[in-house]
């Protein structure tokens, strides 16, 4: 694939190696083990499957790009060992999604991580997309043609493979551009701390499951209507799982809420709602109407669970800590989330440490932040207690 500036082609990526055999996999691992840094990206099929999975893993060194087809292997533990290796820097861009999906599918542990999106944010960039940064810094323009492609299909088209290659190919170049600028403002080690804390604390992506409370529009329904919506949502989940499709591709939330409110008792009534296409009515109409009729035989009520609200004193600490990080960020010319991650602020507010030793324990994933801001944080907590 060629990448372009506004007027002419400026570069061609070298051919990537598609890794689908044990021999190629072993050669890839051997090559990557000798690198100081490797770039990683993934492609998944969330728009095309009931349970998404990682469908392609892109890995790049300074000299070579690999496109690993995980469908071709039963065991990726050698790659997992490489990703966990603390001597090799792993480069990602907005890596939280990639990390969470790789944890879910393969149980990978990430060490020595650098996130180019976090780095760009620390340098004052507000538009943090990879394509935007590559165009701004290097004049490289990437196609967006396959952002919503079905990465679960096989064989993958050559154009799709080239698109995927670009997402890891330029990360080392981008990192090399950003690092001296981060060093100049004294934030390189802090960015490493951020990326590694994110990688450590990012939970595996949850597998898809039924959750009627996530249906858009459910908050406007009463308990009786919620009971019917739950039945319709279950029907949609069963249809989606059987066809291996995301539930929204069976029928959308808006349509499901409208059906709940109208309670159609025939295909004619369902069609008159005009919230489903004729094809959807033909394919799913009978099972939808039958769901409504079964519910009407034994209607129930479903009440929204009472979510735990944090205590007033904890909320006060949280608000004060959020103000503190905002003020420090303003003083240092940094986004507040880079001063202290929100997850860290929430943890401090909940634990309410009353001495430096206990605060250091709470901030164990952020030792540089503790050294830099610990006293200000503890002084604030002590003022709140008075």
User: For residue 238, what are the contacts with CB-CB under 8 A and spacing of at least 6?
Assistant: none
pLDDT of residue 9: 35
* Domains in the chain with CATH codes: 2-201 (3.30.420.10), 212-297 (1.10.150.80), 312-385 (1.10.150.80)
Pair type for strands 17-19 and 65-68: parallel
Residue showing tokens 């080239």: 162
pLDDT of residue 204: 97
pLDDT of residue 308: 62
Contact present, 3 and 140 (Cβ < 8 Å): yes
pLDDT of residue 1: 44
Residues of the chain with pLDDT under 50: 1-11
pLDDT of residue 362: 97
Q: Is pTM beyond 0.85 here? A: yes
How far apart are the C-alpha atoms of 192 and 129, rounded to whole Å? 19
pLDDT of residue 5: 42
pLDDT of residue 127: 95
pLDDT of residue 2: 42
């Amino acid at each position: 694939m060629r990448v372009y500036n506004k007027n002419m082609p400026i570069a061609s990526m070298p051919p990537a190696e598609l890794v689908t055999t044990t021999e190629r996999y072993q050669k890839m691992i051997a090559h990557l083990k000798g690198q100081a840094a490797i770039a990683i990206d993934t492609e998944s099929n969330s728009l095309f499957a009931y349970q998404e999975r990682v469908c392609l893993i892109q890995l790049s060194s300074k000299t070579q790009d690999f496109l690993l087809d995980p469908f071709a292997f039963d065991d990726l533990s050698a790659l997992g060992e490489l990703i966990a290796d603390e001597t090799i820097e792993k480069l990602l861009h907005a890596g939280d999604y990639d990390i969470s999906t790789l944890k879910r599918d393969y149980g990978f542990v990430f060490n020595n991580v650098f996130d180019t999106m976090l780095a760009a944010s620390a340098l004052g960039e507000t538009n943090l997309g990879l394509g935007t940064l590559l165009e701004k810094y290097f004049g490289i323009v990437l196609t967006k043609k396959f952002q919503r492609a079905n990465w679960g299909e096989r064989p993958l088209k050559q154009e799709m493979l080239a698109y995927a290659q670009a997402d890891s190919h330029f990360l080392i170049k981008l990192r090399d551009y950003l690092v001296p600028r981060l060093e100049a403002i004294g934030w390189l080690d802090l960015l490493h701390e951020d990326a590694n804390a994110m990688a450590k604390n990012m939970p595996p992506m949850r597998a898809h499951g039924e959750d009627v409370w996530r249906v858009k529009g459910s908050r406007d329904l009463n308990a009786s209507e919620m009971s019917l919506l739950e039945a319709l949502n279950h029907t949609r989940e069963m249809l989606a799982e059987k066809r291996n499709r995301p539930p929204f591709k069976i029928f959308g939330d808006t349509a499901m809420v409208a059906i709940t409110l109208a309670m159609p008792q025939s295909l004619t009534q369902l069609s008159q709602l005009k919230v489903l296409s004729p094809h959807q009515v033909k394919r799913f109409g009978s099972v939808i109407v039958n769901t409504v009729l079964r519910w009407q035989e034994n209607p129930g009520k479903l009440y929204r669970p009472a979510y735990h609200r944090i205590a007033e004193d904890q909320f006060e600490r949280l608000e004060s800590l959020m103000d503190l990080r905002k003020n420090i960020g303003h003083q240092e010319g940094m986004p507040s989330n880079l001063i202290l991650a929100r997850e860290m602020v929430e943890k401090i507010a909940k634990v309410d440490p009353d001495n430096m030793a206990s605060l250091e324990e709470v901030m164990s994933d952020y030792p540089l932040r503790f050294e830099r801001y610990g006293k200000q944080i503890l002084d604030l907590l002590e003022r709140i207690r008075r």
